[in-house]
Chain A
Amino acid sequence: MRKVFLPGSLEELWRCFEERPQSTVYAGGTDLLVGTYNGVLNPETLICLDRIEELKGVGDLGDSVRIGSCTTHTELLEEPLVQHHLPVLWWAITQIGSPLVRNMGTIGGNICTASPAGDTLPPLYIMKAEVELISKGGVRLMPIGDFITGPRATRLHGAEILTAVWVKKPVEYNLSHFEKVGLRNALACSVVSMAALLRLASDGLVEKAALAWGSVGPTIVTCCEAEEALIGGKLTAARLGEAAAIVRKAVNPISDIRADADYRRTVAGNLLLRLTVAH
């Protein structure tokens, strides 16, 4: 029989890890339990973080927002701090799974699952989010781009959990955009997604840009060359087309059941063209 721990506090969590150091941790279960129940995964012991209140909630720390790892997607959508200060993340969360999945799934789960298609990840990358990791030995902070090392691979140690993600408010930008292309509007894994933050001057010239793509490489893809190609010009179709060509060279997609690599490559650039209508 597989043991499932349900610790009520971090202190209890450390005791679970002492008893079963190889335990697999989950929060909402919308990913891990699918694999566990269909037999693809066979975790010896599970620890469900759902009852640890310390891991939930959103805090305003002035220039940044701290999001507890076990805050559900639905709770984040209802959170004015996220809606007002992190609109690109808020919009991405509206695109995750379905209301039922959002009621259960958490932002920490989306990060630790480290899927290239994780919808919260492109926004977190362009806001240069940092993950807060805790073990009995202490706390460490790490940029999200360093934390995620490949598809479903992170630098999380055994008996260590993600407690929170720190997101700097993107006050230097005045345009947020997120778009996901899936095979249908809901309950769809992204085929390609893109998050963008831009600062436009009053004359429409781009002064600053941060861009990231999902589902077009082993991890989220960022592209400085495409960002630089936008700076100093207006968001015209010609200008965006040049940047799109750069992006199509930078991405490294695979072919799978949802789409082939060429399609993903084309759409990764096309999503940039949408910025002509996003503002």
Chain B
Amino acid sequence: MKISFYLNGKQTDVDVPPDRKFVNVLREDLGITGAKEGCGAGECGSCTILVDGRACLSCLMAAVQLQGRQVTTIEGLAAGGTLHPVQEAFIEYGAVQCGFCTPGVILAAVHLLNQNPDPTREQIRVGLSGNLCRCSGYVKIVDAVEAAARKMREGKPR
């Protein structure tokens, strides 16, 4: 089945079975490997992508559901080669350990900050509660999101 959507701003057409798991369309058909399938059950968040700006689980979407949608993956977050403030903060604060969960965590954080530009640490923890990091690096992740929020409020509009 032909399915068309916008992937990181670019119109993308694929010809795949309509029930194909969308994370597999990204990774195996398009070579976009930022989103990872961790658990396949919505319990780890490593497959997080933005669909029309909303953080969603790409391992629990049939390809056909993306028809006409705007999909953003970690690969599309840096506009024109400039890192997103959340990406910058993750580097600055050392919020990445093995990196497996990082694309999902960053996209969930971007969604959170778009909804709530000035979250408390507790709100950040709740906002990222669907994304597991098994390196146990949550403190630095929360520090980084807090710093990114500050930076974004200080007028780095995106």
Contact = CB atoms under 8 A, between A and B. Distances in A.
Nearest to A103: B54
Contacts of A187: 43, 129-130, 132
B19 A4 contact: yes
B20 to A, nearest CB: 9
Nearest to A99: B130
Given A36-B19, A99-B112, A185 B129 contact: yes
B60 interface: yes
A117 to B, nearest CB: 14
A254 interface: no
Interface residues of A, number: 27
Contact of B129 (A3, A34, A74, A186): A186
B62 A101 contact: no
- What's the interface size class on B, roughly? 20 to 34
Given A30-B57, A48-B62, A100-B108, A186 B19 contact: no
A157 interface: no
B129 A4 contact: no
B64 A103 contact: no
Interface in A174-233: 185-187
A72 to B, nearest CB: 9
Interface in A28-87: 28-30, 33-34, 36-38, 46, 48, 50, 74
A186 B130 contact: yes
A38 B130 CA distance: 20
B18 interface: yes
A48 B127 CA distance: 27
B64 A29 contact: no
B60 A29 contact: yes
B87 interface: no
Interface string B130-156: 111000000000000000000000000
Of B40, B60, B108, most A-chain CB atoms within 10 Å: B60
A103 B56 contact: yes
Nearest to B24: A37
Given A34-B42, A46-B19, A103-B55, A4 B62 contact: yes
A6 interface: yes
Interface in B21-67: 21, 40-43, 45, 48, 54-57, 59-62, 64-65, 67
Given A37-B21, A101-B57, 7 more contacts: A3-B18, A34-B41, A46-B62, A97-B130, A99-B108, A101-B42, A186-B126
Interface of B: 17-19, 21, 40-43, 45, 48, 54-57, 59-62, 64-65, 67, 108, 111-112, 126-132
Nearest first, the 10 closest Cβ-Cβ pairs linking A and B are A98-B130, A186-B129, A100-B130, A4-B18, A2-B19, A33-B60, A34-B41, A4-B64, A1-B17, A4-B19
17 contacts: A4-B19, A6-B64, A30-B60, A37-B60, A38-B40, A38-B41, A46-B62, A97-B42, A98-B130, A99-B111, A99-B126, A99-B127, A100-B48, A101-B42, A103-B56, A186-B129, A186-B130
